[in-house]
Amino acid sequence: MFIFRVLPLALIAALMTDGADAAGPKLGQAAGDIEIAVVDIDIAPDGDGLPKGKGTVADGVEVYMEKCASCHGSRGEGGSASALTGGIGSLTTNAPVKTVGSYWPYATALFDYVRRAMPYDKPMTLTNDETWAVTTYVLWLNGVIGRTDVMNAQTLPKVRMPNRDGFIDGRDGRPK
């Protein structure tokens, strides 16, 4: 008899501690704008998400040589890590070389990736300014932009990547 009296009380107590949510779903808590802003780091192809700031080739050389060149080579030719340049004309061969210049359709992905994942041993340490600088330098290394071009939230999405028209949407008519 004792057990029957205690169990319901325990259940009631458990329910009361989270009364606002009640039982069952809808247990997510409202996420505030600032909370979202600090984790919402991906960059869309139209540039949505790009921060303020700008990069130049001159700024980029410095950051690149200090933080990138030891693995990717001083001109992006590759080393212990993948090449960032070259590979144009290789996509139909048995050994395609997919680089920023030969493959990537949108320059925005370069900013996105460098900022969240590079350098390999210290990701998420580059400032926005450093990321703008490296992005600009790597695009210039690939011959995609000129030496005096400035990359910012307005210009980067407009950069025409060489393989921009090289992709089709696989959700339609894919091989079985």
Partner 1 sequence: MAWPRFDAASDDTPAAGGGLLTRRAFLKGAAALGAGAAISVEAADAHLTGALPSQKAPGRSFSGYGQPSAFEKDVQRTIVELYGATAPGNGQSFTPLHLLRGIITPSGLHFERHHHGVAEIDPKQHRLFVHGLVKHPLKFTVDRLLRYPMVTRTLFLECARNSSRNAQPEPVQATCGELHGLVSCSEWTGVPLGILLEEAGIDAKAKWVVAQGADAASLTRSIPIDPAMDDAIVALWQNGERLRPEQGYPMRLVLPGLESCIGVKWLHRVKVTDVPAYSREEVAEGADLLPEGKSRLFHFAMGVKSVITQPSPGWSLHGRGFYEIAGLAWSGADRIAKVEISADGGKTWAPAELQEPVLSKSFTRFRLAWNWNGAPAVLMSRATDQRGQTQPARTAWLQQYGAGQRRHYNAVQAWQVESDGTLRNVHL
Binding site for partner 1 (CB under 8 A): 24-32, 35-36, 39-46, 71, 80-81, 90-96, 98, 103-106, 108-110, 112-113, 116-117, 120, 123-124, 163, 166-171, 174-176
Give me the residue label for tokens 């290789």: 90
Q: Which is nearer to partner 1, 88 or 150 (CB)?
A: 88
Shortest Å distance, C-beta 8 to partner 1: 20
Query: Rounded distance, CA 46 to CA 53, Å?
Result: 17
- Return the C-alpha torsion angle 45, 85, 167, 123, nearest 10: -40
Shortest Å distance, C-beta 4 to partner 1: 25
Shortest Å distance, C-beta 29 to partner 1: 5
- For 52, the 3-state DSSP assignment is coil
Token pair for residue 43? 């960059």
Q: Which is nearer to partner 1, 53 or 105 (CB)?
A: 105
Shortest Å distance, C-beta 49 to partner 1: 9
Q: Which is nearer to partner 1, 71 or 150 (CB)?
A: 71
Q: Do 164 and 105 contact (CB within 8 A), yes or no?
A: yes
Query: Rounded distance, CA 38 to CA 124, Å?
Result: 12
